[in-house]
């Protein structure tokens, strides 16, 4: 290699490492109605990429947030699909290039756990949003366990502190008791829930170093001005409220609730911030904490099964691990169509894992071995789209009309790499689906194939029911509503659904399918990926068949 080529290669590696260093890619997770979309909007407001928050005071004046683009989301005020926002942010006093924030807002409803799980495979950290009045709720607990299993560090935000709620120490104790995660306060509330005056910023020893007082704005639609005081000044300004806050953090510090970066990255502790996303109180403190503490993009391992399969094949070597400075690679975590009626296309959301992505570059689809061009590549801000020329590890890029891509797929340049596949959740709800009008059958099939490839629901077929009456399988029934709503909005196909008498699904094989299909209360289907799926009437029916035919294959459909 010539000196100039070597210098160019070294310069490229240095550039990728530098760009990865300033990336922060995270998801916001919470129970429904904890304020995720409102917080997402507030974070964008504080980064000065929008001028007014989408949620304004009073239901009559409520606007749709940037991240909620489906009509169904706007009508119900909940998120039912994940969305990605990318923007730059520089904390006050920060020198050098600003941080590049890749924020993924996730569905709140439990019926969309699978979509949220996919998002969590594409981020480096999570913000766990907790309602100050309700505390930890079932969906929060479930999502925490997924984060823990994936080794995702968590920053905890107690939201809605402007409303009456629990005592702050009670919430800390609840988090420790329920999920075994030790909160380490960085910003502690001054004023009880419902009387949110400001935040005490704590130093490394857990002692109040500064008082930040917030001033309300009309409807919380703009950034809340701040006033800063020393601890001595705070005692005069807030009297009893400051003293109470100081006593509470003293108790926590004595109990060892201090931030330790290693323990945070190990998912043992969680930096804690109190906020009101609706009033924009404590929001830039969340961004500052993410920039300072959340991990930058790191390496990713290849799928062990692919490595093992390739080890004995000539010329089939696969990288064991992809470092951020290696050749380009990315993983698709979501496929979405119909985001904009002006663009009837399909968008594959890809997380850049390694190297520099350049629009138009030729890449290889690991699953098929085929090459394709990335001519149409976008960055997204909610529903809005902008052509992207290049991107780096941690960035989320949308590939347009990449019809061969599905969630979990790997694309790469250079030496082959293939990341772990995207697991599917075990469905618990089942309904048949058919077009209301026979004349719409062609559009029905097209819509079915598209939405199936996106993973909106799992589609099951068998000869007895035929292609015109497939079965939808989902984690929860609201997914069926999304399926029908999108079929109507995007393909002008009205559909009818009907319940079927099954509640349990198991994976089976060809050798077992025949006998299982002869069992009363059991029906065999083929899923779109070729897997054979047996549906059972209920868990007791499954238990009976397992007892009578232990030789048959009936494997749970669970996420890895």
Report the binding-site residues for GTP: 105-109
Record the tokens describing residue 341, joined without a space: 């009626």
Phi, psi of 101 (to 5 degrees): -95, 125
Beta strands in 80-239 (DSSP E): 83-89, 99-105, 125-131, 154-159, 182-190, 198-202, 208-214, 226-229
Beta bridge partners of 499: 431
State the Cα–Cα distance between residues 275 and 188, nearest whole angstrom: 9
Which residues participate in the annotated binding site? 105-109
Helix, strand, or coil (residue 116): helix
How many beta carbons lie within 10 A of that of residue 51, not counting itself?
9
SS3 label, residue 306: helix
Residue among 78, 89, 88, 87 nearest 116 (CA): 78
Cβ–Cβ < 8 Å for 512, 552: yes
How far apart (Å, rounded) are the C-alpha atoms in residues 306 and 408?
14
Find all residues with CB under 8 Å of 260, minimum gap 6, and list them: 184, 269
In the structure encoding, which two tokens stand for residue 29, read together?
């997770």
Is 95 strand, coil or helix? coil
CA distance linking residue 535 with residue 431, whole number of Å:
12
Q: How many CB atoms are closer than 10 A to CB 371?
A: 11
CA 93 distance to own-chain centroid: 30
Residue 434 backbone dihedrals phi, psi, to 5 degrees: -150, 155
């Amino acid at each position: 290699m010539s000196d100039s080529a070597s210098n160019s290669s070294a310069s490229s590696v240095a550039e990728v490492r530098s760009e990865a260093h300033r990336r922060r890619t995270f998801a916001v997770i919470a129970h429904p109605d904890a304020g995720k979309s409102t917080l997402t909007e507030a974070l964008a407001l504080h980064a000065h990429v929008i001028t007014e928050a989408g949620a304004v005071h009073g239901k009559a004046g409520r606007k749709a947030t940037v991240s909620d683009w489906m009509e169904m989301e706007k009508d119900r005020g909940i998120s039912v699909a994940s969305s990605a926002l990318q923007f730059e942010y520089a904390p006050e006093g920060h020198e050098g290039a600003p941080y590049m924030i890749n924020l993924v807002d996730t569905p709140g409803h439990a019926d969309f756990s699978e979509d949220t799980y996919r998002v969590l495979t594409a981020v480096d950290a999570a913000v766990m949003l907790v309602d100050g009045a309700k505390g930890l709720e079932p969906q929060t607990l479930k999502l925490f366990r997924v984060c823990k299993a994936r080794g995702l560090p968590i920053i905890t935000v107690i939201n809605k502190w402007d409303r009456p709620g629990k005592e702050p120490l009670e919430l800390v104790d609840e988090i420790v008791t329920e999920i075994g995660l030790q909160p380490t306060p960085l910003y502690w509330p001054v004023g009880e829930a419902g009387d949110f005056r400001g935040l005490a910023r704590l130093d490394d020893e857990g002692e109040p170093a500064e008082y930040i007082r917030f001033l309300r704005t009309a409807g919380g639609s703009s950034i809340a001005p701040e006033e800063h005081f020393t601890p001595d000044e705070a005692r005069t300004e807030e009297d009893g409220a400051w003293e109470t806050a100081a006593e509470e953090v003293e108790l926590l510090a004595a109990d060892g609730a201090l931030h330790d970066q290693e323990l945070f990255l190990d998912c043992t502790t969680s930096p804690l911030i109190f906020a009101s996303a609706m009033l924009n109180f404590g929001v830039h403190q969340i961004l500052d904490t993410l920039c300072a503490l959340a991990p930058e993009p790191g390496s990713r391992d290849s799928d062990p099964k692919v490595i093992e399969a390739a080890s004995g094949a000539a010329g089939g070597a696969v990288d064991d691990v992809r470092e951020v400075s290696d050749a380009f690679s990315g993983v698709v975590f979501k496929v979405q169509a119909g985001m904009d009626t002006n663009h009837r296309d399909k968008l594959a959301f890809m997380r850049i894992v390694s190297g520099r992505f350049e629009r138009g570059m030729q890449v290889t689809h690991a699953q098929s071995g085929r090459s394709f061009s990335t001519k149409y590549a976008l960055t997204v801000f909610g529903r809005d789209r902008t052509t992207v020329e290049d991107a780096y590890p941690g960035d989320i890029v949308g590939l347009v009309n990449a019809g061969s891509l599905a969630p979990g797929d790997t694309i790469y340049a250079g030496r082959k790499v293939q990341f772990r596949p995207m697991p599917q959740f075990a469905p618990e709800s089942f309904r048949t689906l058919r077009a209301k009008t026979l004349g719409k059958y062609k559009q029905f099939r097209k819509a079915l194939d598209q939405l199936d490839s996106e993973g909106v629901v799992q589609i099951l077929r068998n000869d007895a029911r035929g292609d015109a009456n497939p079965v939808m399988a989902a984690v929860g029934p609201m997914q069926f509503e999304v399926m029908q709503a999108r079929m109507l909005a995007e393909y002008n196909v009205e559909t009818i659904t009907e319940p079927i008498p099954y509640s349990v699904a198991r994976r089976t094989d060809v050798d077992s399918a025949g006998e299982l299909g002869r069992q009363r209360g059991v029906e065999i289907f083929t899923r779109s990926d070729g897997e054979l799926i047996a549906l059972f009437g209920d868990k007791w029916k499954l238990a009976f068949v397992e007892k009578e035919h232990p030789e048959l294959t009936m494997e749970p459909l669970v996420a890895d």
